[in-house]
Amino acid sequence: SAVISQKPSRDICQRGTSLTIQCQVDSQVTMMFWYRQQPGQSLTLIATANQGSEATYESGFVIDKFPISRPNLTFSTLTVSNMSPEDSSIYLCSVGGQGWTGELFFGEGSRLTVL
Amino acid sequence: QKEVEQDPGPLSVPEGAIVSLNCTYSNSAFQYFMWYRQYSRKGPELLMYTYSSGNKEDGRFTAQVDKSSKYISLFIRDSQPSDSATYLCAMTLGGSYIPTFGRGTSLIVHP
């Protein structure tokens, strides 16, 4: 299993500002995933972050809005840029288990409210 | 039509009841099926994982997959208040690391 720490756990932000979410894993992992969980909606993958290369974004998500860094095998950041109330959501960092079994380990999430 | 449909609930049951949670899906290429449990203000955690059609049991939990009907279920026997959480179904295509999630069903087990 993997232990994932996310910061901040929650924040209230003003429209037009940007916020960076940090994700720290207790072991080295190749792929890290960033998800968004909006109220009443399914978990939606924003991007996959591989160390040493640019993140791969899913349809509907762009690098200018959600820049991601992956400086090493245990750490990643997601920035939500130029926020609007529609960005109010829970953002979750995730990693896969050893050997593909379909299991994902999640952090506790960062709950953002944009006013 | 979404790829994975799941009734968001909430589903409220008395302690000790048998709970049935369900998902339907449209893509017959899905091969791996999972159930995650998410407590309030926590991240999801994997409960059950199945590959083939049929039943898989783990303690009070039974996962059922019917590929011919594109239907999966999670049964909880002797439900406890500690089972109160949101349950998300998820499924992946063969060779993919990325699951497609349902919306989650909120379960409330009251004493």
**Which pLDDT band holds residue B52 (cuts at 50, 70, 90)?**
confident
- B99 to A102: CB separation less than 8 angstroms, yes or no: yes
Distance between CA atoms of residues B110 and B51, nearest Å: 32
Alpha carbon B19 to its chain centroid, in Å, reads 11
Using CB atoms within 10 A of its CB, is residue B11 exposed (0-12), middle (13-18) or buried (19+)? middle
Tokens 């069903």 -> residue: B105
Pairing status of strand B61-66 against strand B30-38: unpaired
- A108 to B41: CB separation less than 8 angstroms, yes or no: yes
Q: What is the CA radius of gyration of chain A?
A: 13
SS3 A15: coil
Contacts of residue A33 in chain B, CB cutoff 8 Å?
98
- Amino acid type, A22: Q
Mean pLDDT of B79-104: 91
Encode burial over A74-91: b for 16+ CB neighbours within 10 A, e otherwise.
bebbbebbebeeebbbbb
Residue A111: closest C-alpha in chain B: B41
Mean pLDDT of B44-64: 92
Residue B11 has pLDDT above 90, yes or no: yes
DSSP bridge partners of B96: none
Mean pLDDT of B84-91: 96
Closest Cα partner for B41 from B85, B6, B7, B83? Answer: B85
Mean pLDDT of B41-54: 89
Enumerate residues 6+ apart whose C-beta is below 8 A from A99: none
Out of B34, B99, B103, the one facing A41 most closely (by C-beta) is B103
Please report, rounded to a whole number, the percentage of residues in chain B having pLDDT higher than 90: 77
SS3 A85: helix
Residues 7-66 on B with a CB inside 8 Å of A are 8, 32, 34, 41-46, 49
Q: Each residue of A45-80: pLDDT tens digit?
A: 999 998 888 899 999 999 999 999 999 999 999 999
Pick from A18-32, A49-63, A93-107, B55-69: least confident: A93-107
